[in-house]
Amino acid sequence: MKKKKLIVGILGGIGSGKSTVAAEFAKLGCAVINADKIAHELLLNEDVRQQLIDAFGEGISEKNGLINHAELADTIFNSDKNVARINDIIHPLVFDRTNELIEQYKRQEKIQLIILDAPLLVEAGWAQMCDKLVFIDCDPKIRAQRAEKKGLGGEKQLKKREKFQISLDTKAKLAHYTICNNSGLSALTDRVACVFSTLTR
């Protein structure tokens, strides 16, 4: 009997290292679906861009017609209403593309696991499509430092963004596994390998 290919969702706060963990899983033969990457690709679609400009105004658009990511983020995280509006536009499209990729990866025998790296995995209801959930635990100060390096702002901006998300305590309780990411990459690699080994038994 053919073994079921598990879909594993990654949970964690901004700057916790979700994408780094996903990259470590990829090294072990897993397929990674990055929802942020899909969303950024969608911003290049003319119809999607126009929907966003209609919703949030010309201020989010560059002179060349492309979306200014920083302006869009500032606009979105100013209110619950704006967060809901962009989610209504982007999430269904990301969800459709994610499902396409899942079906594609399920047919590829060499792939060990399908890793879903999506910032709003629980909030968007996508956790339900996952067989297992992995929570990335990380000290808030370390997360703030990492977020700042990524150009996402420091601790204040991090809190502003995360107030629109389900609490990390709740996400941690939903997870089947927890990976601590307060140390260096070497320790993280070992922890990911341990979870991978358990999931692929």
Residues 188, 192: Cα–Cα separation, whole Å: 6
pLDDT at 22: 98
pLDDT of residue 2: 60
Please say if the pLDDT value at position 91 is more than 70.
yes
Contact assessment for residue 67 and residue 61, using Cβ atoms and an 8 Å cutoff:
yes
| pLDDT higher than 60, residue 55 | yes
pLDDT at residue 5 tops 60:
yes
> What DSSP line would sit under 17-30, residue for residue?
-HHHHHHHHHHTT-
Residue 19 pLDDT greater than 90, yes or no: yes
Residue 72 Cα to chain centre, angstroms: 18
Rounded to 5°, angle at Cα 159 from 153 and 171: 120
Confidence check: pLDDT of 20 > 90: yes
Residue that wins the pLDDT comparison between 103 and 151? 103
Sign of CA dihedral 58, 59, 60, 64: positive
- The pLDDT score that the predictor gives to residue 70 is 87
pTM, 2 dp: 0.89
Cα separation of 97 and 105, whole Å? 12
Q: What is the pLDDT of residue 73?
A: 87
* Average pLDDT for the chain: 92
Residue 129 has pLDDT above 60, yes or no: yes
Whether the per-residue pLDDT at 1 is higher than 60: the answer is no
Least confident of 17-26, 50-59, 62-71, 94-103: 62-71
Work out the average pLDDT over 65-83.
88
pLDDT category at 198 given cuts 50, 70, 90 is very high
**Mean pLDDT, residues 96-111 taken together:** 96
Q: CA 81: distance to chain centroid?
A: 21
Q: Distance of CA 52 to CAs 37, 78, 190, Å?
A: 17, 15, 42
Say if domain 7-199 classifies as CATH 3.40.50.300.
yes
Q: What is the DSSP-derived secondary structure letter of residue 60?
A: G
The CA distance from 166 to 121, in Å, is 10
Tell me the C-alpha distance between 87 and 54, whole Å.
14
